[in-house]
Amino acid sequence: MRILSRVLALGAGAWLAAPASAFTVFACEPEWAALTRVLVPDATLHVATHAAQDPHHIEARPALIAQMRKADLVVCTGAALEVGWLPMLQQRSGNAKAQDVFFAASHVPLVDAKPGAVAGPWSGDVHAEGNPHVHADPHRLLKVANALAQRLQRERPSQREAIEARRASFEAQWSAQVSDWERRAAGLRGKTVAAQHTGFGYVWQWLGLRQVADLEPQPGMAPTPGHLQRLLGALKAQPPLAIVVSSYQDPRSGRWVAAQLGGRVPLLVLPATVADDAGADELVAWMDGLVAALLQAGAP
């Protein structure tokens, strides 16, 4: 995993030596901070959330307002993920630069783009614009990286060539990693999972898995005993590969379902994003961990 960072450093070393003016980025989620770090490693980064927090529900604290007030660029997911707290931060920061946010979800197609308009098991998702968790698909993440590089080049024209060099190095090495993950995970295609919410929906689509049950009775609503009991019949008849919850979610419901299935189905508590903004290494480590956990769950 450390190969990616070394290649990026070698490929762009000459550019990193050049002096650059201070540039501050406010990232709503750690994955976008990490991606920003890949492209502009000298930037000052402030991150509103971390892997143990639910990005849907964040308090607009004074510290975050102060950080956004200093930002030259704001990078967020979009697709209404931050609708409950980002507008308040923008308003209270009084920073004109914070109004033109780079939204990652605006640069890729979304899964379940109009969930309230179609009949499905989870119609009426809390995200009316579609599933916003696009960073969980490495192909979409690469498209976001390319779009973010273009935005950063406009923001820092003196660093245009340096940013392009880092972007090209990242694309080459990330694409190689994706090919390796897809080769290793080929045996997962067609298998099923039960999960809480659709935070990993892009992983399922990417690897050919199917989510056949949601522990939430309605999107965004905590699991209830009655709903979990109703799920058991189908899950006992056709046990899924795993029960999956995000690391910021309460695992007790998933643990109860796994216990009712007699220990035949493992409970996976997976991080919803990277651990910090260290850059390419963290992005690779996070995705590699997801693939490894799913492979272990499917091992005989």
Domain ranges of the chain: 2-181, 187-298
Angle of helix 86-93 relative to helix 62-69, nearest 10 degrees, comes to 60
The pLDDT tens digits along the chain (300 residues) read 544 544 444 444 433 443 445 899 999 999 999 999 999 999 999 999 998 898 988 988 999 999 999 999 999 999 999 999 999 999 999 999 999 999 999 999 998 765 444 434 444 445 678 899 999 999 999 999 999 999 999 999 999 999 999 999 999 999 999 999 999 999 999 999 999 988 899 999 999 999 999 999 887 788 999 999 999 999 999 999 999 999 999 999 999 999 999 989 999 999 999 987 777 899 999 999 999 999 999 876
Please give the pLDDT value at position 114: 57
Give the domain 2-181 fold: Rossmann fold (3.40.50)
Rounded distance, CA 137 to CA 192, Å? 18
Evaluated on CA atoms 40, 41, 43, 46, the torsion sign reads positive
Rounded distance, CA 130 to CA 154, Å? 28
Range list of H helices, 76-137: 86-93
Give the domain 187-298 fold: Rossmann fold (3.40.50)
Please give the pLDDT value at position 145: 98
Please give the pLDDT value at position 235: 96
Q: Which residues of 129-161 are buried (b: 16+ CB within 10 A; e: fewer)?
A: bbbbbbbbbbebbbebbebbbbbbbebbeebee
One fold for 2-181 and 187-298: yes
